[in-house]
Amino acid sequence: MKKIMLMAFAAGLFAFTSTSCSSDDDGGGKSCQELAQDYADAFEAYFDDESEENCQALDDAADAYANSDCEGNDSVVGCNG
């Protein structure tokens, strides 16, 4: 059930940021949409294979998004919470 909830959250986050026009972020030169896509891709990879490598990639993507100025940046979580 946790996986389904997280997958729904990631999909919702991507949909939300896809409609955002803000390009003011601090994601290493990436747009909010790119950061959201990175997070969604990492989440999907972790959903398919809960390896330590995929967990770290999800945490890194969540950190990048959380440290940006993108809308919803305070609501992303990695695999370790």
Q: What is the pLDDT of residues 42-61, one digit of tens each?
A: 999 999 999 999 999 999 99
pLDDT confidence of residue 7: 61
Q: Is the pLDDT of residue 3 over 50?
A: yes
Residue 74 confidence class, pLDDT cut points 50, 70, 90: confident
Q: How do the domains of the chain map onto residue ranges?
A: 1-16+31-81
Q: Check pLDDT > 90 for residue 77.
A: no
pLDDT of the residue at 23 = 45
Backbone angles phi, psi at 27, to 5 degrees: -105, 40
On whether the pTM is more than 0.95, the answer is no
Contacts (Cβ under 8 Å, ≥6 apart) of 63: 78
